[in-house]
Structure 1
């Protein structure tokens, strides 16, 4: 167990969401108390106190958490389900398993690997999969397995089937670190775990090839990046995090792209960290981030 996980020993994170109604906070806190838990942090949000949706994230300590989880889960089922609430509880000392898919651009990939090695991302990385081989040595220098799965031509089914085979049972979520392939709805259904993407915020204004060249030609003054969950609708999934940086007329397309890469790295890292810490609750095509 790493020092990071040691600090999180016996800490649970409880996510609750559903129709807002009186008594939810009291029900949750009373449940934790009677199960000998001590609340460390509690965040909540209601989008409308009269018939709206309620969201809550609670982190609490409970000695011998692993042994007591079945009893706590049974209490949650009996108490919260009858209120029409959905819930999920996780042991914070167990890091999520994160697979990374990448292509030739390495800035987002290496940022995640570096932050993971520095202890900033509470995850394990069982593998990196790429449709190119240029990042293989860099990835392996971090002690992470690298797999090359070529993806060429209009039919991506064979490549997707191989990626699904590699991922099956080994990951809790997937990050597309500038993986320049469109994933099919069949792939998303078969992997069955959340998929997080990063792209420049020029979409849809500067779609297609050479977006930074198009941005330069338009004379943009702000560039940015967006990280979101992947859905069947291309680049329209729930947004987790966004950021921007100012640019000016003196910067050519290459300078814009370099500034954009800096923003992309930061935005994707924050999105991954928040997802790994169970801070993101999906609500339709939106997210609540605590």
Structure 2
């Protein structure tokens, strides 16, 4: 994922809010006045009359690290105060700090670490946290710190407190790479970063334990996976990416698990890469992905 749009003088501007005439012109005007050159611009509106507006702009501005504060102030005056829009200004060179939570299944975890090593996902991984010690050696082989935080069945609060001590203020994103624990509402409120989960199903279907056995029993012809942001409502968070693969009656449960794992890896890596490149805009229960 390295390239010119991740270099020092490239920025991303994410805008969202109530649609109205003149937003694109205002964004372009502010960037032009500041000396920026727009490299790409993607926009979407849910309805041109009273709908929601979304825009992702990539631009080049010489000496952006030193000029970002002034640009942000100009955007706040024109977009925030005059038009009532929300916006985020991001320096593209800054990699997202992504913590990964995992249990025993290693396929999604190792895929993300491999992609990060190859610079296919623009991120750093400051830590991997697990409720089991099994994957410690694999993670340390990538020169990444591994923390084993056991979770008691009767009371998860102690484990969540320890996890929060590791995560709060240290990461920009938390990824659940088949972390088989439900996070509490208090944890989600305190962690201070979005959380992305990979669900072993094309939601909403076969929710819960043993999805591939239940899929085999139902004779499904497709298995899939869903990457979504985590909310307090289990598996109901805004969906980022989904995909499926064809299967048949000839496939065993093990075949379904293997094919499903392939889809999980792809779906999760896309979702994380898109989030790290600021391509995903949350809007209530849904997302816009540029």
Corresponding residue for 2:256?
A: 256
Corresponding residue for 2:49?
A: 50
Give 4+ residue runs of structure 1 displaced > 3 Å after superposition. 2-7, 202-205
Corresponding residue for 1:29?
A: 28
Corresponding residue for 2:138?
A: 138
The CA deviation at 1:207 is 3.0
The CA deviation at 1:216 is 0.4
Q: Is contact 2:99–2:171 with CA below 8 Å preserved after alignment?
A: yes
Q: How does 1:63-82 map to 2 (within 5 A)?
A: 63-81=62-80, 82=82
The CA deviation at 1:240 is 0.2
For structure 2, which runs of at least 5 residues remain unmatched after alignment?
A: none
TM-score, reference length from structure 1:
0.97
Q: Is contact 1:112–1:269 with CA below 8 Å preserved after alignment?
A: yes
CA deviation string 1:177-233 (max 9, x = no partner): 000000000000110210000012255432332111111011000000000000010
Q: Is contact 1:5–1:93 with CA below 8 Å preserved after alignment?
A: no
CA change 1:45–1:205 in 2 (3 A) is closer
CA change 1:204–1:143 in 2 (3 A) is same
Rounded to whole Å, the distance in 2 between the matches of 1:56 and 1:91 is 16
Q: Is contact 1:5–1:94 with CA below 8 Å preserved after alignment?
A: no
The CA deviation at 1:273 is 0.2
Q: Is contact 1:202–1:211 with CA below 8 Å preserved after alignment?
A: no
Rounded to whole Å, the distance in 1 between the matches of 2:161 and 2:272 is 25
For structure 1, which runs of at least 5 residues remain unmatched after alignment?
A: none
Q: Is contact 1:11–1:92 with CA below 8 Å preserved after alignment?
A: yes
TM-score, reference length from structure 2:
0.97
Q: How does 1:1-290 map to 2 (within 5 A)?
A: 8-81=7-80, 82-201=82-201, 203-290=203-290
Q: Secondary structure of the residue that 2:21 maps to in structure 1?
A: coil
Rounded to whole Å, the distance in 2 between the matches of 1:134 and 1:188 is 25
Q: Is contact 1:102–1:130 with CA below 8 Å preserved after alignment?
A: yes
Q: Secondary structure of the residue that 1:63 maps to in structure 2?
A: coil
The CA deviation at 1:4 is 5.3
